[in-house]
Amino acid sequence: MAEAGRVEPVVMTSFIAGVLFIWGIFALSGAGVTRRLPLLKTVIFLVAIMLIGRGIAFPVIMPIFPSNSLTFWLVSSALCLLMGVSYA
């Protein structure tokens, strides 16, 4: 899609990067590196649940995106699971 000049990959990647950036700020706050943010425990809990859920639910999600390889699913799911457990 990116090679074809479509804007969707850029928008989606930017959105994901922004969400991960915000989650990273909350992780740093939880680790005491930055000031304590409001709703810190709630956000950390929700992030952990979402990442662990994504890491475990990949067999259910795979048919929705048939163009992704098995390697992609295994690596990205393992990373999500690792990040989720780290947040937890």
Assess contact for 22 and 58: CB atoms under 8 A: no
Q: Is the pLDDT of residue 20 over 90?
A: yes
Task: Summarize the confidence of residues 18-46 as an average pLDDT.
Answer: 96
pLDDT digits (tens, 9 = 90+) for 64-82: 999 899 999 999 999 999 9
What is residue 3's predicted lDDT score, i.e. its pLDDT?
80
What is residue 1's predicted lDDT score, i.e. its pLDDT?
76
- The residue extents of the domains of the chain are 8-87
- pLDDT band at residue 5 using 50, 70 and 90 as cut-offs: confident
Tell me the pTM. 0.83
> What is the distance between the alpha carbons of residues 9 and 1, in angstroms, rounded to a whole number?
7
